Amino acid sequence: MPMAHLLTKPTRTGNSQSAFLLRIAGLGLVAAALLMPCGCGKPPMLVHQYILEYPAPVIGRKAKIPEVVKVEQFSVAQAFNTNAMVYQPQPFKSETYNYSRWRANPGYLVTDYLVRDFRDAYLFDAVFGPAATGRYRFQLEGGVEEFQEVDEPDGWKAVLAVTATLLDVTREEVPQRVVFQKNYRALTPMPEKTPQGLAQAMSRAMAEVSARIITDTYEAARQRAGK
């Protein structure tokens, strides 16, 4: 076969191959379009976001302590370190609601409401949040150990468990700094078996835990300040 004839074949084959590849690419785009969800079909599901909502606890008439307390950012146990609304349908099983979430991480929710409740109680000269700077004597820190719905045979409940540690930062020795370390747990019935029912019950649980933490902090700080 003449060499010139052999050299002309790649040019013709290249054109044919390019056309073939273009057809394959076109078919791929059509297939991709068919597989993609159509924007003109069913609208995306609405995700509801929930917060805690309750009036600041009424602690009662108490003499103000001339000290400043700072509430540090509370940590969160890994199982609940999420904005998802966690529920336990049965022992050893954990699930989350598909289209309902907390507006903020449980650590932020607990910390923010504690700061608000401490300030509304007017028991200290000032209450600092995590980002505040300035001189203070007492420091409250802790963690959220449980923040979920528990479905039990006698009813669905919101469960909030928190650890709290109060420190006197004016003491030099670490053991002397610890004023108290306590565990708090509230289990509150849900008014309805829905995410909103969980938010309502968790709000009542937070109100209960907050009132107990504030009362314990006040009494411990009053005794320490008097020494």
Residue by residue, DSSP assigns 175-207 as HHHEEEEEEEEEEEE-SSSSHHHHHHHHHHHHH
Place of tokens 């700080």: 221
pLDDT at 20: 37
**pLDDT reading at 35 higher than 80:** no
156 φ, ψ to 5°?
-90, 140
Reported pTM: 0.80
CA dist., res. 59 & res. 124, Å (int): 13
**pLDDT reading at 49 higher than 80:** yes
Average pLDDT over residues 163-167: 98
- Residues 148 and 142 sit within 8 Å (Cβ to Cβ): no
CA dist., res. 94 & res. 218, Å (int): 37
Range of 22-31, 166-175, 204-213 with top mean pLDDT:
204-213
What's the fold here for domain 48-225?
Rossmann fold (3.40.50)
Least confident of 27-41, 178-192, 211-225: 27-41
Average pLDDT over residues 41-50: 84
The residue extents of the domains of the chain are 48-225
Burial 3-37 (b: 16+ CB within 10 A, else e): eeeeeeeeeeeeeeeeeeeeeeeeeeeeeeeeeee
**Which of the 8 DSSP states describes residue 153?**
T
Higher pLDDT, 209 or 12: 209
Average pLDDT over residues 76-99: 97
pLDDT at 114: 98
Tokens of 178: 């610890």
**pLDDT reading at 4 higher than 80:** no
pLDDT at 226: 77
pLDDT at 227: 62
| Average pLDDT of the chain to the nearest whole number | 86
Given the DSSP bridges, would you call strands 178-189 and 48-50 parallel, antiparallel or unpaired?
unpaired
Please report which confidence band the pLDDT of residue 41 belongs to, taking 50, 70 and 90 as the band edges: low
**pLDDT reading at 11 higher than 60:** no
Average pLDDT over residues 170-185: 94
pLDDT at 22: 37
pLDDT at 34: 37
Please report which confidence band the pLDDT of residue 60 belongs to, taking 50, 70 and 90 as the band edges: confident
pLDDT at 171: 93
- Residues 187 and 146 sit within 8 Å (Cβ to Cβ): no
pLDDT at 174: 85
